[in-house]
Structure 1
Amino acid sequence: MLKGFQEYLTRLVGDLPSNYRFLLAVSGGKDSVVLSDLFYCSGIPFAMAHVNFQLRGIDSDGDETFVRAFARRCEVESFCTALDTKAYATAHQLSTQMAARTFRYTWLEQIRAEHGFDYIVTAHHLNDTVETILYNLAKGSGIKGILGIPAINGYVIRPMLFATRQTIDGYYLKAELVHREDSSNAQVGYARNWIRYEVVPALQKLNPSLELTINRNLVYWQQMNAWFELEAARIRAEIWQTREQRHVVSLDSIRKHPALLTLLFHWLQPFGYVADQVADLCEAVLEQKQGKLFFSKTHQALLHQGTLIIELQTPRDDTVMIWPAGQSSLSLDGHKIIFSTHAESPQILPNQPDIAWLDADALQFPLQLRHWHAGDYFYPLGMAGKPKKVQDYFTDEKIDRFAKDRIWLLINGNGMIIWVVGFRIDDRFKIQENTTRFALLQVYSLMHF
């Protein structure tokens, strides 16, 4: 096993391991003791790091004492810290196991960075990968769930992933090592332990070489995933646009893609969508349903005019901004509206959505700026003096329901809508033949100031 370990570690770091300093996560259990001995016998510089999670009373304290003594025997430095795991879990709203894992990796990275270690090393092995895959398959996790535990993840490396538990046990006995036994490892009530002691042995009756078979298949699965991610990235570059946290996905070219569900799950999982939600969304895409909304805990997705629009969930903004007489500008949503009056207007009025020329005498201050309400209506310029509900106008302009909630309406002092800002003025405020005072409203991005 020693030779296999050295070859695998060299492959991971891409150089002679003796050129690096490693920080080993050592619990005191058999796997981490074997890991430490492999480093020690290889003459590779390392130190040990241990977290006392204070979950097993004096046994937890005994683990810490053991690791400190083990480090002294190996003549290496040790770093130890203690954590009230249950209090930490409560404060961060995590399960006990997740709290311990989160703190452990955060603390290990802190020690690595502060003391100049090149890598953090954990003692995960092939059986851990098998159990992880089975757990993920049972819980449902997509393609990534069957890829096992990564051998390299940032500064964290796992140089024993090539070895089975049987191989590790053999090395342990031959080297006459001692370790601390965690009694919780034998409790079948934990999901991982149940898989270890009940599920894996049952599967080994079908295939005694279960671990090696899965390890061989891992190569295929990882390469298939690498190919898939390249293909998904290529497709995304062609159909995906992002601007200011708003994502617009053109669906026309992928609607009949044979891997549509898998692509959508791959893209939407980072936004908090789970498998059932993605399946419902995929069905709606295939049926070309419009206007349907899908919510994750953090985001909202809308099917609109052959696209999928994804945004952060934000509460509706019911702000009303007052524009008093004499004020020349107003800032809102990263833009500025400039107001000015003129004795003359251009002979040809510009057809630009961010400019509005109005009859200044029709304005009654104070004006208001607010978002649309149900029942709002106005008389759009160019509609022959006919009224139209603002909501219907948005529909005709193909404005999606996310965007329309951000559009501002400029309201006259008498309650009439003057301007759907950035779109259309109301016919009642247009420049007439008898207009003598002219108002100009211009919208600018604040980035231009």
Structure 2
Amino acid sequence: MLKAFQDYLSELLRDNPANYRFLLAISGGKDSIVLGDLFFCAGIPFGIAHMNFQLRGEASDGDERFVQAFAKRCEVPCFTTAINTKNYAAEQQLSTQMAARKIRYIWLEQIRQEEGFDFIVTAHHLNDSVETILYNFTKGSGIKGMLGIPTVNGRVIRPLSFATRQEIDAYYNQEALVHREDASNAESGYARNWIRHEVVPKLQKLNPSFEQTVSRNLVYWQQINAWFEQEAQQIKAQIWHSSPLRHTLQLSSIQSHPALLTLLFHWLQGFGFVAEQISGIHTSVLEQKQGKLFLSKSHKALIHQGNLIIESQSTLPGHPQLWTAGDSSLSLDGQKITISTYTKGPISIPHQPDIAWMDADELSFPLELRHWRAGDVFYPLGMSGKPKKIQDYFTDEKIDRFAKERIWLLVNGDGRIIWVLGFRVDDRFKIRESTTQFAQFQLTSLLDLSKE
């Protein structure tokens, strides 16, 4: 196995391993001890890092002492630390296992950088990938879940990925190694342990070369995923438009794509949407259900005019603000609205969404900036002085639900709406031949949310 390990590591690095320094994550368990012994026997420069998670009392402390002794026998540097994992999990609102994994990799990378190691090395092997695939398949994770544990992930490498548990056990027995056993590994209460002890042995009865079969399939799945990622990125570049506040997917242009559901799953998982919701989005797109809303824990998605619009749940409408007489400007959700007054008006009114001209004598301070409310009515300029509900105006302009919640109204002191910011001035405030005082309102930065 030593020769196979050396060849595999050289292939991963595409170089001589002796040219690098490796930081081995050693728990004291069988797999990590085999990993350490292989590096030692191969004469490759390495150091050892061990994190005491303080989850098993004296047994955890015994693991730490054991790893320190192992490092001393190998005559390599050993870095240890202890952390109260349960407290950290509670603070981060994570499961104990997820918390241990997160803090472990953060600490390992810190040691790697501080001590000048080139790579972090973990003892994950082929059976770990098999168990991960089965777990992900059961939970439903899409293509990525079928790729197993990556052999190379940035500065983290896993040079035992080629080896089965049986091969590791054989090497362990051949070299008469000693390890520390974590009693929880034998318990079937944990999902992965149950897969290891109950599921895999039954699959091995169906196929005695089960691990090798999965290993071959991993190559196919990884290549399929690489091809799919490339195709998905090309499609995304054509239909995906992003702004600081939202993402808009022009799904109408790919509605007939044979892999539409898979593409949606690939793109929307990162926004917290689960498989059932993504399936619902897919169905709604095919059935052209307008206005359908979907909520994840972090984001909201809306089907509108053949588009899927995604925004963060934390994107909330701003609070109403008063604009008192004498103020020349007002800050507004990252924008700035200013007023300028003139005794002469413009030769022609510019058709710009961020500029509004009006009769200054009609203004009654304090003005108010707020969002629309049910029952709001204004008299859109150019509609012959006819009233229109703001809600109906938004519908006619095809403004989506998310955008209209953020559009501001400039309201006069007497309650009349002056301007739907970025869209239309009220006819009652327009410049007339009799106008002697002219007011210009301008937004210095306008996000045209309805037309993305």
Normalised-by-shorter TM-score class:
over 0.9
Contact 1:330 1:338 survives alignment (8 Å): yes
Q: Spell out structure 1 runs of 4+ moving beyond 3 A.
A: none
Instruction: Measure the CA separation in 2 of the matches of 1:109 and 1:315.
Output: 34
Corresponding letter in the other structure for 1:403: A
Distance 1:66 1:373, change over 3 A: same
Q: Per-residue CA shift, 1:227-268, capped at 9, x if unaligned? A: 000000010001111111411111122101111100000011
- Alignment correspondent of 2:185: 185
Q: Which moved more, 1:136-145 or 1:95-104?
A: 95-104
Q: Percent of counterpart pairs with the same letter?
A: 69
Instruction: Measure the CA separation in 2 of the matches of 1:86 and 1:335.
Output: 44
Corresponding letter in the other structure for 2:107: W
Instruction: Measure the CA separation in 2 of the matches of 1:31 and 1:215.
Output: 19
1:1-150 equivalent positions in 2, closer than 5 A: 1-150=1-150
Instruction: Measure the CA separation in 2 of the matches of 1:292 and 1:100.
Output: 39
Instruction: Measure the CA separation in 1 of the matches of 2:85 and 2:349.
Output: 69
Corresponding letter in the other structure for 1:370: R
- Alignment correspondent of 2:171: 171
Instruction: Measure the CA separation in 1 of the matches of 2:226 and 2:402.
Output: 35
Q: Which moved more, 1:429-438 or 1:220-229?
A: 429-438
Instruction: Measure the CA separation in 1 of the matches of 2:96 and 2:318.
Output: 41
Deviation at 1:445, TM superposition (A): 2.4
- Alignment correspondent of 1:351: 351
Instruction: Measure the CA separation in 2 of the matches of 1:187 and 1:340.
Output: 74
1:295-310 equivalent positions in 2, closer than 5 A: 295-310=295-310
Distance 1:316 1:246, change over 3 A: closer
Q: Which moved more, 1:274-283 or 1:312-321?
A: 312-321
Corresponding letter in the other structure for 2:265: F
| Structural RMSD (CA) | 1.4
Q: Per-residue CA shift, 1:49-103, capped at 9, x if unaligned? A: 1111222222211111111111111110111111222222222222221121111
1:398-417 equivalent positions in 2, closer than 5 A: 398-417=398-417
- TM-score between the two structures when normalised by the length of structure 1: 0.97
Structure 2 runs not aligned, ≥5 long? 448-452
Corresponding letter in the other structure for 1:430: K
Corresponding letter in the other structure for 1:180: R
Instruction: Measure the CA separation in 2 of the matches of 1:357 and 1:180.
Output: 79
Q: Does 1:442 align with 2:442?
A: yes
Deviation at 1:435, TM superposition (A): 1.7
Corresponding letter in the other structure for 1:208: P
Instruction: Measure the CA separation in 2 of the matches of 1:75 and 1:346.
Output: 84
Q: Does 1:377 align with 2:357?
A: no
Instruction: Measure the CA separation in 2 of the matches of 1:247 and 1:101.
Output: 31
- Alignment correspondent of 2:208: 208
1:361-372 equivalent positions in 2, closer than 5 A: 361-372=361-372
Q: Which moved more, 1:312-321 or 1:104-113?
A: 312-321
Instruction: Measure the CA separation in 2 of the matches of 1:117 and 1:222.
Output: 29
Q: Per-residue CA shift, 1:244-294, capped at 9, x if unaligned? A: 141111112210111110000001111111111100000000001111111
Instruction: Measure the CA separation in 2 of the matches of 1:326 and 1:58.
Output: 72
Q: Per-residue CA shift, 1:93-138, capped at 9, x if unaligned? A: 2222112111111111111111111101000111111111111111
Contact 1:334 1:446 survives alignment (8 Å): no
Instruction: Measure the CA separation in 1 of the matches of 2:340 and 2:94.
Output: 57
Instruction: Measure the CA separation in 1 of the matches of 2:286 and 2:78.
Output: 58
Corresponding letter in the other structure for 1:77: P
Q: Give the secondary structure class of the aligned counterpart of 2:433.
A: coil
Contact 2:318 2:333 survives alignment (8 Å): no
Q: Which moved more, 1:81-90 or 1:115-124?
A: 81-90
Corresponding letter in the other structure for 1:440: Q
Structure 1 runs not aligned, ≥5 long? none
Deviation at 1:349, TM superposition (A): 2.1
Q: Give the secondary structure class of the aligned counterpart of 2:285.
A: helix
Deviation at 1:313, TM superposition (A): 1.2
Instruction: Measure the CA separation in 2 of the matches of 1:20 and 1:273.
Output: 42
Corresponding letter in the other structure for 1:231: E
Contact 1:379 1:388 survives alignment (8 Å): yes
Instruction: State how many pairs are aligned.
Output: 447
Corresponding letter in the other structure for 1:116: G
Q: Give the secondary structure class of the aligned counterpart of 1:226.
A: helix
Contact 2:302 2:308 survives alignment (8 Å): yes
Distance 1:239 1:72, change over 3 A: same
Instruction: Measure the CA separation in 1 of the matches of 2:323 and 2:217.
Output: 67
Q: Per-residue CA shift, 1:298-326, capped at 9, x if unaligned? A: 11111111111111113642512111112
Instruction: Measure the CA separation in 1 of the matches of 2:243 and 2:66.
Output: 55
Distance 1:161 1:315, change over 3 A: closer
Deviation at 1:142, TM superposition (A): 0.9
Q: Per-residue CA shift, 1:349-408, capped at 9, x if unaligned? A: 222222222111111111111111111110001111111111111111111111112211
Distance 1:394 1:102, change over 3 A: same
- Alignment correspondent of 1:229: 229
Q: Which moved more, 1:231-240 or 1:319-328?
A: 319-328
Contact 1:24 1:47 survives alignment (8 Å): yes
- TM-score between the two structures when normalised by the length of structure 2: 0.96
Corresponding letter in the other structure for 1:353: P
- Alignment correspondent of 1:196: 196
